[in-house]
Chain A
Amino acid sequence: MPDLLANLGLGFSVALGLQNIALCFLGCLVGTLIGVLPGVGPIATIAMLLPITFGLDPVGALIMLAGIYYGAQYGGSTTAILVNIPGEATSVVTTLDGHQMARQGRAGIALGTAAIASFFAGTVATVLIAALGAPLTKLALIFGPAEYFALMVMGLAFAVVLAHGSVLKAVAMILVGVLFAAVGTDLETGQERMTFGFSFLTDGVDFSVLAMGLFGIAEILRNLDQTETRDVVRERIGRLLPGLADIKQAAPATLRGTAIGAILGILPGNGAVLGPFAAYTIEKKIAKDPRRFGRGAIEGVAGPESANNAGAQTAFIPLLTLGIPPNAVMALMVGAMTIHGIVPGPGVMTKNPNLFWGMIASMWIGNLMLLIINLPLVGVWVRLLKVPYRLMFPAILMFCSVGIYSINSLPTDVMLIGFFGLMGYLLIKFGFEPAPLLLGFVLGKLMEEYLRRSLTLSRGDPMVFLERPVSAVLFIIAFAILAAALLPSLRKGRDEVFTEA
């Protein structure tokens, strides 16, 4: 304990230096900005800002880059709530209830709840990293391919629960999502799959492209059809910040979300992506009236948002203690460290205590700054909803196009968002929900990879998934969730399986 305090003291003395505070603020500000802009992700931005950090000392540079990363997580939920566009895989869930709240004139409450829940989660996760970062690394090493496969199967079981309409349609969407994920070059053999000879499909479909199309463009098309609902959004604005009753309702969900997100974030195989989904599923399962979910339940914002942010913070554990990047942004951080002459790996904590503890302390400071930046902005964002829709949607369309283009500099990516937009429009018209598809897409790629790897390692013996205790437990949970989701509706005369619940 005294060790921890001394370490944190060192960290804060580094992070509270004038230059580092300024860099942290700058990072959070830029992060919020790019998070809010649909399509522009932290990857492109961090890559572009890397050269600017050359002149800084490594600690300051990394503090700023980390600020961009978690600032973008904050900003991403703003777009998800206001215009129903998930900027990142982790804010897909926030669109479900967050945007519904906005449609009911509770956009301010949703945004405020998201900010407060994220701040709480960030604080807890920071303490967790400081106290348990090193021992928690062991958890990362328990997880082999078989465990990750089980984890992904569990995630897909969550996706079934996620849907609030027909279970059958949700399952179909998940399968379509996993099928889409298979497009592109096969990892194991290098063969092209379902690319039809198009070179722009060799690397598969980018998540942002699919998300911008299915959510961003499709949402525009849907809104153009229904003039009434979108006017409701902009006329009724209501309270700006959550009241005591709202906070009371959101608090338990925030606690649970934080715990789930923090644990999943530690896994270097990008487990953080599951956090919000898992949190949402749990909230929906334990709620007295699950039917509120998907119709603007505040727990459906607080739980996933806290899980998202906790995961974003604890994802630094594998990076800082093992040197293993769990996702593309963290891989970029590895590059940034290397450029600054720090080789990431197990030695960083002992060799560069300034960097390690300084970054951890700056995360908490950054979270505080984000709260301070974001709460006053809630008013601005909400007023943005007053902009007439006939001006709003061309603007959204252009931002989506610019953002998508900036990721890979490929015009074909921009065309694809048009294609997926049309597809999303059709899906909505036929009563399908795009969220399970997107989840299937995110998990599908990882799932197939881990399945094939575990079977190659076990030389084709499928028992490997049940012989390993962690994987067996995860499979049992997955089947329990599926049974809980399917059985009641099957018993009730099967109608719910087929039609809207």
Chain B
Amino acid sequence: MDAPLDGTSSRRGAVRAPQSLVAGLGLIGLGVFGVWASSDLDYGSLRAIGPGLMPFWLSIGVGICGLALAIAGFTHDGAPLQSFSVRGPVVITLAVLAFAITIRPFVLGGITTPGLGLIVAGPLAIVIAGYAGTEARFLELLTLALFLTAGCMLLFGDLLNLPIPIFPTAVVQAMTGVLPARTLLRIAAGVMALAGLGLLLVQRRSGRREPVDVARHSLTT
């Protein structure tokens, strides 16, 4: 604690490795949380170890590691805190959430989201996620979304036959008896691929670059 005054970074003061200090405090927090979360569980005996014993001692261990790291923040020179961006994490989280609540009906409190299937959830996730970067262009993302979703529908729904909802539940019910699900899937994928192709042409005409990459990507992944 009695570190000599640091002339170069006066704002840091006694803290010589802010990264270690904050990381350590975080671990201590996690340890305390773990002890609290497992406090309602029985520790048992050596003969019949209860469910609470391991979580308790692990949390203590995490806490001790945190303490050592925090102390090291005062005694050893180390890395400064790194800068955080907010845009990436927030937008990516939104994209993941958008996919999760639209893929199938999801009960959130009193509200149930309509199950929209991959055909909506996929493009939604791609377009939203695209805005996590600074170079996002809407048309380009939409093209990518159309191609990738069409590819995924064929790959997961048709080829691998995974039980993933493809269409909104309302559409499935409306189309029941009109068209077999698989045919609908193939037509929809074809239409999406065509739309994507159209968009590509529009973008190429307007002088944008990169369309080749988009196309190849959707076919090779």
Please determine if A and B sit in direct contact within the complex, based on CB atoms under 8 angstroms apart.
Answer: yes
Interface residues of A (CB under 8 A from B): 30, 33-34, 36-37, 40, 44-45, 48-49, 52, 168-169, 171-172, 175-176, 178-179, 182, 186, 188-189, 191, 193-194, 196, 217, 220-221, 224-225, 380, 384, 386-395, 397-399, 401-402, 405-406, 409, 411-412, 414-415, 417-418, 421-422, 425-426, 429-432, 448, 451-452, 455-456, 459-460, 462, 495, 498-500
| B169 interfacial contact with A, CB 8 Å | no
Tell me the smallest distance from the CB of B189 to a CB of chain A, in Å.
14
Q: Residue on A with the closest CB to B68?
A: A168
**Is the Cβ of B62 less than 8 Å from the Cβ of A391?**
no
Give chain B interface residues in 196-221, CB to chain A under 8 Å: 210, 213-214, 216-217, 220-221
Q: Given that A44-B162, A182-B58, A431-B19 are known contacts, is A460 also in contact with B152, CB under 8 Å in the complex?
A: no
Q: Given that A388-B210, A398-B126 are known contacts, is A172 also in contact with B72, CB under 8 Å in the complex?
A: no
With A and B bound together, what is the CA distance between A34 and B221 in angstroms?
Answer: 10
Candidates A44, A188, A391, A401; contact of B213 at CB < 8 Å: A391
**Is the Cβ of A402 less than 8 Å from the Cβ of B122?**
yes
With A and B bound together, what is the CA distance between A344 and B121 in angstroms?
Answer: 42
**Is the Cβ of A406 less than 8 Å from the Cβ of B156?**
yes
**Is the Cβ of B84 less than 8 Å from the Cβ of A172?**
no
Candidates A36, A171, A395, A418; contact of B93 at CB < 8 Å: A418
Residues of B within 8 A of A459 (CB): 47
Q: Residue on A with the closest CB to B162?
A: A406
Interface residues of B (CB under 8 A from A): 17, 19-20, 22-23, 26-27, 30, 34, 37-38, 41-42, 45-52, 54-55, 58-59, 61-62, 65-66, 68-69, 72, 76-79, 82, 84-85, 87-89, 92-93, 95-97, 99-101, 103-104, 106, 118, 121-122, 125-127, 129-130, 132-133, 135-136, 140-141, 144-145, 148-149, 152, 155-156, 160-164, 210, 213-214, 216-217, 220-221
Tell me the smallest distance from the CB of B26 to a CB of chain A, in Å.
7
Tell me the smallest distance from the CB of B190 to a CB of chain A, in Å.
20
Q: Residue on B with the closest CB to A171?
A: B65
Q: Given that A387-B213, A394-B125, A456-B47 are known contacts, is A225 also in contact with B85, CB under 8 Å in the complex?
A: yes
Q: A48-B163, A395-B148, A402-B122 are in contact. List 18 more A-B contacts (CB 8 A).
A: A40-B162, A169-B69, A179-B34, A193-B51, A194-B38, A224-B85, A389-B133, A390-B135, A391-B130, A391-B144, A394-B126, A397-B126, A401-B121, A402-B118, A405-B164, A409-B164, A421-B92, A498-B69
**Is the Cβ of A402 less than 8 Å from the Cβ of B20?**
no
Nearest 7 CB-CB pairs, A to B? A460-B47, A418-B96, A172-B65, A186-B51, A414-B100, A224-B88, A430-B23
**Is the Cβ of B79 less than 8 Å from the Cβ of A411?**
no
**Is the Cβ of B214 less than 8 Å from the Cβ of A391?**
yes
Residues of B within 8 A of A179 (CB): 34, 55, 58-59, 62
Tell me the smallest distance from the CB of A458 to a CB of chain B, in Å.
9
List, sorted by A's number, 8 A–B pairs whose CB atoms are closer than 8 Å.
Answer: A33-B155, A40-B156, A220-B92, A390-B135, A399-B152, A421-B89, A421-B96, A455-B47
Residues of A within 8 A of B88 (CB): 220-221, 224-225
With A and B bound together, what is the CA distance between A324 and B118 in angstroms?
Answer: 37
Candidates A30, A168, A188, A430; contact of B19 at CB < 8 Å: A430
Residues of A within 8 A of B84 (CB): 429
Q: Residue on B with the closest CB to A188?
A: B51
**Is the Cβ of A34 less than 8 Å from the Cβ of B164?**
no
With A and B bound together, what is the CA distance between A384 and B216 in angstroms?
Answer: 9
Residues of B within 8 A of A456 (CB): 47-49
With A and B bound together, what is the CA distance between A460 and B50 in angstroms?
Answer: 12
**Is the Cβ of B62 less than 8 Å from the Cβ of A172?**
yes
**Is the Cβ of A390 less than 8 Å from the Cβ of B130?**
yes
Residues of B within 8 A of A384 (CB): 217, 220-221
Tell me the smallest distance from the CB of A430 to a CB of chain B, in Å.
4
Residues of A within 8 A of B144 (CB): 391, 394-395
**Is the Cβ of A395 less than 8 Å from the Cβ of B126?**
yes
**Is the Cβ of B122 less than 8 Å from the Cβ of A415?**
no
- Best-surrounded residue of B49, B52, B106 (most CB of chain A within 10 A): B49
Candidates A191, A217, A387, A409; contact of B92 at CB < 8 Å: A217
**Is the Cβ of A48 less than 8 Å from the Cβ of B161?**
yes
Residues of B within 8 A of A406 (CB): 156, 162-164
Candidates B37, B48, B135; contact of A196 at CB < 8 Å: B37
- Best-surrounded residue of A384, A390, A429, A462 (most CB of chain B within 10 A): A390
Residues of B within 8 A of A45 (CB): 160, 162
- Best-surrounded residue of B19, B148, B160 (most CB of chain A within 10 A): B160
Q: Given that A220-B92, A384-B217 are known contacts, is A397 also in contact with B129, CB under 8 Å in the complex?
A: yes
**Is the Cβ of B118 less than 8 Å from the Cβ of A498?**
no
Q: Residue on B with the closest CB to A448?
A: B54
Q: Residue on A with the closest CB to B106?
A: A411
Residues of A within 8 A of B103 (CB): 401, 405, 411, 414
Residues of B within 8 A of A398 (CB): 99, 122, 125-126, 129, 148-149, 152
